[in-house]
Amino acid sequence: MLSLFSGMRIFGQDRCLVRSRGVPACPPFVGHLTKATALLFTLTLFAFSTPQAKAAGVPCTPTFLGSYNTPGAANGVTVVGTTAYVADGNSGLQIIDISNPATPTFLGSYDTPGYAWGVTVVGTTAYVADDWFGLQIIDISDPATPALLGSYNTPNGARGVMVVGTTAYVTDGGSGLQIIDISNPATPTFLGSYDTPGYAHGVTVVGTTAYIADIFSGLQIIDISNPAAPTFLGSYNTPDLAWGVTVVGTTAYVADWDSGLQIIDISNPAAPTFLGSYNTPGEARGVTVVGTTAYVADQLYGGLQIINISNPAAPTFLGSYSTPGAALGVTVVGTTTAYVADRFSGLQIIDISDCPLCPADLNGDGVVNTQDFLAFLGAWSAGDPLADWNDDGDINTLDFLAYLTDWSAGCS
């Protein structure tokens, strides 16, 4: 335990650029906790912290904050700081100032040649999954005038993208997972691929493993430790159409169309097992998880569905907000705001501060205690994007303080 704390970055130049849930690039930093201070801090936590139970089952009432009606079809959204980046179908990438959620304003756009399905942002670069035109790489250093940096024409239809370091992982419909070297954005190059049995749509990468929502073939788990030769690890055939996936620890959460949210134990990738499910009223298309709460983009009848997953075997309803369009994607910032890509109703911004949350419960056991704090410190020390607690694209002292605030508050 002492070795975990002794290298913690608390003070000094400890800014790390998050590379989309991957390995961050960190400039030199100064200042560490001394071993004596680390030990004292740890002992103090163990001596004085007490478990704080979650307020499970308490209903909440999400409310409307604001919206921005994009010109195309809002399929996906990523938020960095006070800016939202929307993959907007035939209208490409839309960049929106959300510093005042009540009145979001247009910053700029880039009309990609295809149909923008998904977007991820790393630093001053946006990566867009652009259907038949593959991966589009866009310079967004000046949001008013985004510019093309480069592109890679994947063999099928690019649906989702995740970036880790200098590698982009693209779900490419009928061509499965495409792995692309983006170290030189002007000339991206092919690294490798894995042809999943279904139609690859959503992707999450954790370490050397890719988790793919494969529409007709459920959850596919792929070993990407050797990008030139990805290999099959395991799969779980969800009951309906797997559109989106997110992973927290040893649990995968799959947005599974008419079968709602599927919760899967992936501790043994070779044999994933069913944990529980929640049948949302609409068609589950996207999911994100914060602490013990899942947020599902549930098109048609469901809008935004908020689900208590503290007990994965028996998820329970917390609240919902009926968006005016078709909710296809959702991003949550902090514990107060959800951003929904609502297809022909553009970007919808929802206040979720009324919902009982356990954001600091990192191990998902339903309580906030020292084990969660140690988990955060481990992630923070390693530069894991999980530790970008204030969602500003950097991992630094501000994230430590923000997590400490949530940890001290326990569960609302």
Listing DSSP states for 133-152 in one string gives T-EEEEE-SSTTS-EEEEEE
> If pLDDT is split at 50, 70 and 90, which confidence band does 372 have?
confident
Res. 111: pLDDT tops 80: yes
Residue ranges of the chain assigned to CATH 2.130.10.10: 63-351
Contact of 393 with 80, CB cutoff 8 Å: yes
Res. 270: pLDDT tops 60: yes
pLDDT for 383: 78
Between residues 412 and 305, the one the model is more confident about: 305
Res. 364: pLDDT tops 90: no
Q: Across residues 369-397, what is the average pLDDT?
A: 79
For the chain, percent of residues with pLDDT exceeding 90: 68
pLDDT for 218: 98
Residue type, 410: G
- Give the predicted TM-score (pTM) of the model: 0.79
Q: Where on the phi/psi map is residue 303: left (φ > 0), alpha (ψ -120 to 50), or beta?
A: left
Which of 52-61, 112-121, 167-176, 317-326 comes out lowest in average pLDDT?
A: 52-61
pLDDT for 6: 37
pLDDT for 5: 37
Which of the 8 DSSP states describes residue 398?
Answer: H
Res. 134: pLDDT tops 50: yes
CB contact burial 144-182 (16+ within 10 A = b; e otherwise): eebeebbbbebbbbbbbbbbbebbbbbbbbebbbbbbbb
pLDDT for 42: 54
Which of the 8 DSSP states describes residue 386?
Answer: G
> pLDDT tens, 10-62?
333 343 444 333 333 443 333 444 444 544 565 565 555 555 544 444 578 99
CATH node for 63-351: 2.130.10.10
Tokens 């329970």, residue located: 316
Neighbours of 219 (CB within 10 A): 26
Between residues 336 and 256, the one the model is more confident about: 256
